[in-house]
Chains A and B, each alone.
Chain A
Amino acid sequence: MFSEILMQVIALDNLMIILGCTLYGTFVGAIPGLTATMAVALLVPFTFYLDPVPAISAIVATTTTAIFAGDISGTLLRIPGTPASAAYIDDAYRLSKVGRAKTSLLVSVTTAAIGGVVGVIILSLLAPQLARIAISFSSFESFWLACLGLTCAVLTGHGTVPKSLASLFIGLAIASVGIDIAVGHPRFTFGLPELLDGISFIPAMIGIFAFSEVLRSVQSTLNGQAAAASAKEKLGQAAARAGRALGTYRTTIARSSIMGTLIGALPGAGADIAAWISYAVARRFSKEPEKFGNGHLEGIAAGGSANNAAIAGAWTPSLVFGIPGDSVTAIAIGVLMLKGLSPGPRIFIDQPELIHTLFGSFFLANIIMLPMGLLAIMMSSYILRIPRAIMTPIILLFSLVGAYAINGTAVAIWIVLGLGITGYFMEENGIPLAPAILGIVLGKIIEDNFMVSMIKAQGNISAFFEREYSMILGVATVLLWCYLIVRTGVELMSKRHRNL
C-alpha cells in the first residue's frame, strides 16, 4: 500500500499541480489584499476538471504557500498578508529596515515548512483522536479560546500593558461595526449596506500597518531623515544567520509547531490565534523577552511555524467529521463532495489511499515550498533597492487597490485611509498596532460565541464554567486577566513615582 500511495503522490500530474500551485500560492499570498481563502476560492472552478487527489493537493499546496508568502509583503512593505502574520510583523519589518530582510524571510520560510511538516505528521497519526476533542468544543469553549488569544495580544504587545490594552480596545470597537448575529441588528453602519458585514480585516490591516507607514515615511522624507536601507545583504550571510537562528530556537520551533497544530484543530479562528498564542508563549519562555517586537528572530520562528502548522491542524475536524475548521477547508469539503466523496470517519476506512495521499501531498507541498520560497525571497528583495521616494507611492497604490479588490467597494478605500491615520497617531503615541488587528479579527468571534452562550444559558453566567474544557480554559483566562490587572497597576504606579 505504501508504494501505491507514494506512486500517487509523486505521479507526474500530481507533482506538476503541486509545483504550479506553490508558485500560484506564493504569488497570490505576496500580493497585499489577496488572501489564502481567496486564492483557494479562485481555484475551485479548475478543480472541477481534476481527480480528487490532485484537486485536494492543489488546495493544500496553495494555502500552505500563500500563508508563508504573506510574510514577504509583511517583511518588506509592512503589509501583512494574513492576520496570522500580523503577530510578528513588527519583528520582521524592523529586521528588514536594518537590512536583514533576507535573514528574516529565510527564517519565515524554513519555520513555515517545519511547522507544516510537523502538522501533517501529527495529523496523520492523531487525526481521529484530535477530532474527538475538537468536536466537543461548543460556543463556551470557543469563547474562552478567543479570549485567551486576545489576552496574548496584550501580553506580547511591546508597549506598556495599559497602552496594549488601549490598542486592543480600539480594535474591539472597530469590530463592533456591522450586523450582530444574535439579534440581527445593524450597528454603526450609518445606513451603508457595505458596512453590514462589519469592517473586514484586510482593509483594516492595510490601513493600520501600510498606510500609517506611508504617512510616516513622507514625514521622515520631509524632515530629511530618509535613511537608505542597506539592502545589500548577501544570501550566504543571510542563510548562515538564519541557520544559526534555527539551531538556537529549535525548542521554540518544536513547541510552536505542536501548539499550532493543536490550536488549529480546534474550531474558531485557527491560524490567527495559533500564531499569537505561540508568540506569547515563546516570549514567556524566552531568555531575552525584551527583544520581542524589536526585530527578534525567535518571535518570527514561533509565529511562522505555528501558523503553518495550524493550516494542517484545521483539516482535522474537516476530514474526520466533515465539519470545516476554517474557510479554506469549508471550500475543500465542497470540492470533495462534488467528487462524490463525503469526509467523515468512514473515509479513513473506505478510502485510506485518498487520505494518505492527501497527507503525502501536504508533506510534499511543504518541501517544495522551500526552493519556491527562496526564489520568491531573492526576487522580492530587489524591492528594497528601489528608492523610498518611488516606493512609497507604489505602496499607497497597492494598498488602495488591494483593499478595493476585497469586495469591490469604495468604502474599503475610506476604511484604509481612516484607519491609516488612526494607526499613525497610535504609533506616534507609543500605542502598539498589532493588538488592534487581533481585536478586529477576534472581536466578532468573541461576541458571537458570548451571545450564543448567554442565549443558551438564559443569562446564567456560571454556565461558562460548567463544562469540562470550558472550565479549564475559563479559569486559565481569568487568572491571566488578574495577572494583567496587577501588572497594569504596577506599571501605572511606577510611572507616577518616576514622574514625581
Chain B
Amino acid sequence: MKTKLLSAAAALCVAIVMSVQAFAACDWKPERAVTFIVPWGAGGGTDANSRMMASMLSEKFGVPFNVVNRTGGNGVTGHSAIATAKPDGYTIGAATVEINTMHWVGLTDLTYENISPIALIDIVPAGVTVKKGSPFTSVTELIAYAGENPGELTGSGTSQGGIWHLALAGMLQSEGLAPDAIRWIPSKGAGPAMQELMAGGVDVVTVALSESKSLIEQGELVGLAYMHNERMAALPDVPTTKEELASGWTLAAWITLSGPEGMPEDIVCSYEAAVKEIVGTQQWADFKVSRGATVVDMGSAELIEMMKQSDSDLGATIKAIGLAK
C-alpha cells in the first residue's frame, strides 16, 4: 500500500515537472539556419525592421537568420508563405497589418488566426501630407474643402484597398464625409505616390509620416497631420489627428514577428523572450531613432488581443467604404 502511494506521488511529481516544462520552459533554441520571410520588397520599412531584427536574433542564437523577400500579390504571397510553413521554429516572418485587411477585400482567406503572433516590432502611423505651396495649411481645411467639393481632390499612397487608402477613406468617413470625397488614385507604394504628389498628379498622400519625413524636413512636402495619439518626436510641428479632428480618428500600420499556424508554445515564448531582450538594447533604440520611430514592446498575448481589435476595426472601415467582398 505504502509503496503504491509513493509511486503514485512520484508519478504525480514527474507529471507536474513535465507539464511545467511543456508550458513555460521557453528554452527552445534553433540549431540550424532560420528562414525569415518578409512579404514586402527590399529597401522598404518592413524590410529594414526585419533585417535589423534578423541580424540581432542571429547574434543572440548564434545561427544565421536568412531574410527572404517573398513579395507579390499585394502581400498575399509572403503572408501565405509564413502561415503555411512547418511550425518547427525554422521559418518565421514579418506579418504586417495587411493580414487584417487582405481577407476583407477578398484577396485571400488568410487571417491573423492562421499565424502565431510572437511580438510587435513596429507601429507606423499614417500622415496627411501635401506638396509645398498647397492651398491647404491644415487637415481641417482639407476636409472642409473636400466636403464642399466632393470628388474634386485626389489622394494616393498605395493600392486600392491598401492600408493608406483605408487611412484616408476612414478619416473622411469618420468626419461625416463620403469616403470617396477625395478620390483614391492607386499607386505601387509610398515612393511612387510621393513622386505623383510632387509632380502635381495628386493633391494629398496618406502614406506613413515616417516615409514622407525626409521630404517634409527638406521643405518639399508639408505634413498636415499625424494619424496618431501623440506627435512624432522628429516632427513636433505636425499636429495629430487626435488634436485636430472632432472624431479623433487615428490609424497606424504595424509590423509583427510571427510564426506559422500552430507553432508550439515553447518556441513562441522563446522567440518572445529573445525579442523582448533585443528591443531593450541601445542598438535597437538607436536604429529606431534613425528611422524616426519609437521602440515598441508588446508580447504575444497582448499582440493577439491587439490584432483581434484591429481586425474588427479595419473590417468596419473597409465595409463602410464599400470595398468589402
Residues of A within 8 A of B (CB): 40-41, 44-45, 48, 135-141, 179, 181-184, 193, 196-197, 267, 317, 321-324, 327, 330-335, 337-340, 342-346, 407, 448, 451-452, 455-456
Q: Closest CB of chain B to A318's CB: distance in Å?
A: 9
Interface residue from B77, B161, B198 paired with A197 (Cβ < 8 Å): B77
Given the interface pairs A135-B195, A184-B159, A323-B191, the reply to whether A196 lies near B77 with Cβ below 8 Å is: yes
Interface residue from A45, A141, A330, A346 paired with B191 (Cβ < 8 Å): A330
Given the interface pairs A138-B196, A331-B43, A334-B42, the reply to whether A344 lies near B217 with Cβ below 8 Å is: yes
Q: Which residues of B contact A455 (CB under 8 A)?
A: 183, 185-186
Q: Does B105 contact A (CB under 8 A)?
A: yes
Across the interface, name the chain B residue whose C-beta is closest to A197. B72
Given the interface pairs A193-B73, A330-B43, the reply to whether A345 lies near B195 with Cβ below 8 Å is: no
C-alpha spacing A343/B214, complex, angstroms = 8
Which one of B44-52, B115-123, B170-178, B305-313 contacts A? B44-52
Interface residue from A40, A45, A267 paired with B55 (Cβ < 8 Å): A45
Q: Which residues of A contact B291 (CB under 8 A)?
A: 337
Q: List 23 A-B contacts (CB under 8 A).
A: A44-B51, A48-B55, A135-B195, A135-B198, A136-B199, A139-B201, A179-B73, A181-B186, A181-B188, A182-B186, A183-B160, A184-B161, A196-B72, A196-B76, A197-B72, A323-B194, A323-B198, A334-B42, A334-B48, A338-B48, A344-B214, A346-B218, A407-B70
Interface residue from A323, A331, A407 paired with B42 (Cβ < 8 Å): A331
Are A48 and B51 interface neighbours, CB within 8 A?
yes
Given the interface pairs A182-B186, A322-B214, A455-B186, the reply to whether A138 lies near B105 with Cβ below 8 Å is: no
Q: Closest CB of chain B to A123's CB: distance in Å?
A: 19
Q: Does B67 contact A (CB under 8 A)?
A: yes
Interface residue from B47, B80, B159 paired with A334 (Cβ < 8 Å): B47
Residues of B within 8 A of A (CB): 41-44, 47-48, 51-52, 54-55, 67, 69-74, 76-77, 80, 105, 107, 154, 159-161, 183, 185-188, 191-192, 194-196, 198-202, 213-215, 217-218, 220, 287, 290-291
Interface residue from A137, A182, A184, A345 paired with B105 (Cβ < 8 Å): A184
C-alpha spacing A369/B267, complex, angstroms = 48
Across the interface, name the chain B residue whose C-beta is closest to A43. B42
C-alpha spacing A344/B201, complex, angstroms = 21
C-alpha spacing A181/B54, complex, angstroms = 31
C-alpha spacing A124/B290, complex, angstroms = 27
Q: Closest CB of chain B to A45's CB: distance in Å?
A: 7
Q: Which residues of A contact B196 (CB under 8 A)?
A: 138-139
Are B105 and A344 interface neighbours, CB within 8 A?
no
Q: Which residues of A contact B52 (CB under 8 A)?
A: 338
Known: A182-B160, A338-B52, A456-B201. 10 other contacts (CB 8 A): A41-B69, A45-B51, A196-B76, A330-B42, A330-B43, A334-B42, A448-B188, A452-B187, A455-B185, A456-B185
> Considering residues A267, A323, A327, A340, which has the most beta carbons from chain B within 10 angstroms of its beta carbon?
A323
Are B215 and A452 interface neighbours, CB within 8 A?
no
C-alpha spacing A335/B214, complex, angstroms = 15
C-alpha spacing A332/B217, complex, angstroms = 20
Are A321 and B220 interface neighbours, CB within 8 A?
yes
Q: Which residues of A contact B69 (CB under 8 A)?
A: 41
Q: Which residues of B contact A181 (CB under 8 A)?
A: 159, 186, 188
Across the interface, name the chain B residue whose C-beta is closest to A200. B72
Given the interface pairs A181-B186, A338-B290, the reply to whether A333 lies near B43 with Cβ below 8 Å is: yes
Across the interface, name the chain A residue whose C-beta is closest to B64. A45
Q: Which residues of A contact B160 (CB under 8 A)?
A: 182-184
C-alpha spacing A181/B162, complex, angstroms = 11
C-alpha spacing A476/B185, complex, angstroms = 27
Given the interface pairs A184-B107, A197-B73, the reply to whether A137 lies near B187 with Cβ below 8 Å is: no
Are A340 and B290 interface neighbours, CB within 8 A?
yes
Across the interface, name the chain A residue whose C-beta is closest to B220. A321
C-alpha spacing A86/B188, complex, angstroms = 26
Shortest 10 CB-CB contacts between residues of A and residues of B: A138-B201, A334-B43, A342-B214, A197-B72, A196-B73, A138-B199, A330-B43, A331-B43, A340-B290, A344-B218
C-alpha spacing A181/B160, complex, angstroms = 8
C-alpha spacing A444/B161, complex, angstroms = 20
Across the interface, name the chain A residue whose C-beta is closest to B219. A345
